[in-house]
Each structure stands twice: as structure tokens, then as C-alpha cells.
Structure 1
Amino acid sequence: MTTPSVDPVADLAEAVAGAARAVPGVLDLHAGPYGEVAVHAAGRRIDGVRVRSGMVEVHVVLRADVDLLAVADRVRDVALAACAGPGTDPAPGPDPVVEVVVEDIRIPAAGA
């Protein structure tokens, strides 16, 4: 028997963040200009993800040498999959909207 999570919203944010970071072309997640885009939980803070009723926002930093729209679409797809994944609480709702915000674009270091 599995123990239910103490904070299913934070768990969902962690799943979305991990999935988004794994998308090729994503350099990192971004907490917004004032650090306001984050989910706070006991002992942890998940930057770059905001979970609201019916919506999940993912704020990303992308490589400058990729198709930005294609990468943003892929981030949306993996975030939706994370919302529907096993063990996730439907905190944003049964059919969440996922918004992807490109906060920054960076030129990768040589050889990266």
C-alpha cells in the first residue's frame, strides 16, 4: 500500500518540472522576474511551475538555436502527460490547461 502524498500539488509541480527539464532545448525553468512563479511546500520550492485551479504554467529558458515553438509545444505535451500520470492528484482539474511561458532565450556555451 502506498502512502498518500502530504502535498499532491507540490508532487505534481515536481513531476511537471522534471518532465519539462528533460525536453531537448530546455536549459532550465525560470521563477519569473520576481521569483513569483513557484510552488512552495514544506522543505522545498519548485521554481518555474505554477499550479492553479484548471491550469498549470511552466516558465522555461530555451536554447537560442532551437525551434522555439516546437520546444514550447513539446513542453506543453510533457506537462499534460505529467498531469495525467500515475499517482498524480488532479490538482489543476481533470482537463487542465497548460501554458508555457518562454522567459528567456540563451545562446549555449561552445560545445554544450
Structure 2
Amino acid sequence: MTGSSPTPLTPLTQPADEIAARVLAVPGVVRLHPGRFGEVATYLPGRRVAGVKLGQDEVEVHVVLSFDSPIRAVAQQIHAAVAALVAVPVLVFVEDLAAPSAA
């Protein structure tokens, strides 16, 4: 296996958690966005993964990006990271821009 191969999902890994982790690892992503009314989420037993909406026909990812990030390039990186994990179309929504997180 090469270093660029995606990590396969194990039975104990929730796909929404893996997608969220991959998205948050993309430089320029400040946080996931739950939607205006909190409607963008994947519901799991006892919790939810906000900003990731898994559907049978597509996956939606809603994010807040750093205001100094190249929006199109970051969205493309998010798309590529998620598309490596799923077999359906990936839609990336940039909901807002914010100051970079102090990490």
C-alpha cells in the first residue's frame, strides 16, 4: 500500500466520523457547519455528526473556511478527501468564512 491510499473503514468506524476527520484535516477548514437550523447532520445512536449529511445518493459536507484560504482550492481538497471514502457524489458547501483557528 502507498501512503496516498485511503484508510479503509473498519466495522467500528462510523463513516460520518471518518469523513468529518478528513474534512477537518484539510488546511483552511476552520470547522464543520451544522446548517442554519442544525439540519445538516448524520444522526448516530446518542449523538450526531454536524456538518456531514450522508444520503443514499450523495454526501453533503458543510464547512466554515478561513477567510484567507483560497476557497475553490480548499473545496476541491475537501471533495477529494471525501470522494476517496465514498462511492456516491460529494457536495461541498462553504457556509461561512472566519478567522483562522489558533492551533
TM-score in terms of structure 1 length = 0.76
Q: Counterpart of 1:38 in structure 2: which amino acid?
A: A
In 2, Cα distance between the equivalents of 1:60 and 1:4?
26
Checking the alignment, whether the CA contact within 8 Å between 1:50 and 1:57 is kept in structure 2 is yes
Query: How far off is 1:4 after superposition?
Result: 4.0
Change (3 A) 1:68 1:33: same
Checking the alignment, whether the CA contact within 8 Å between 1:19 and 1:82 is kept in structure 2 is no
Matches within 5 A, 1:1-112: 4-5=11-12, 11-83=14-86, 95-108=87-100
Q: Where does the alignment leave 5 or more consecutive residues of structure 1 unmatched?
A: 84-94
Checking the alignment, whether the CA contact within 8 Å between 2:28 and 2:100 is kept in structure 1 is no
How many residues of Structure 1 are paired with residues of Structure 2 in the alignment?
94
**What is the CA deviation profile of residues 18-70 of structure 1, one whole-angstrom value per residue up to 9, with x for unaligned ones?**
10000000000000000000011112210000011120000000001010000
Structure whose residues are more often helix by fraction: 1
Q: What SS does the aligned partner of 1:31 have?
A: coil
Q: What SS does the aligned partner of 1:35 have?
A: coil
Question: Max radius of gyration: which structure?
Answer: 1
Q: Where does the alignment leave 5 or more consecutive residues of structure 2 unmatched?
A: 1-9
TM-score in terms of structure 2 length = 0.83
